[in-house]
């Protein structure tokens, strides 16, 4: 079973889908845009193409950097405080 990441659910909502695999309702476009902005500190509003391009370029770099730090130190990073 593949993992579904939170940003993928938000992107589906921005793309105009209303349900996840025909069962679970997706958030509204406005709510999905707000979640993405809160998660990543960027604000492209409800523009699906901009979010898709930014995530495609930046998401893997963030995950890779986090994993390298975990391997190097042997412990997980603490989340940044708000």
Per the structure, the complete domain to which residue 54 belongs is given by: 6-72
Residue 82 inside a domain? The answer is no
Rounded CA gap, 19 and 9, in Å? 10
Residue 58 inside a domain? The answer is yes
Full-model pTM? 0.67
Number of domains in the chain: 1
pLDDT at 26: 92
Lowest-pLDDT range of 8-12, 23-27, 42-46, 69-73: 69-73
Residue 55 inside a domain? The answer is yes
Let me know how many helices (H) and strands (E) the chain has, helices first. Answer: 3, 2
Residue 1 inside a domain? The answer is no
Helices (H), the chain: 6-14, 29-40, 48-73
Label residue 44 by pLDDT band (50, 70, 90).
very high
């Amino acid at each position: 079973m593949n993992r579904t990441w939170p940003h993928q659910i938000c992107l589906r909502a921005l793309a105009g889908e209303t349900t996840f695999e025909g069962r679970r309702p997706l958030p509204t476009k406005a709510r999905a845009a707000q979640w993405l902005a809160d998660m990543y500190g960027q604000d492209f509003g409800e523009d699906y193409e901009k979010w898709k391009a930014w995530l495609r370029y930046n998401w893997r770099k963030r995950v890779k950097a986090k994993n390298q730090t975990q391997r190097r130190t042997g412990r997980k990073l603490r989340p940044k405080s708000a």
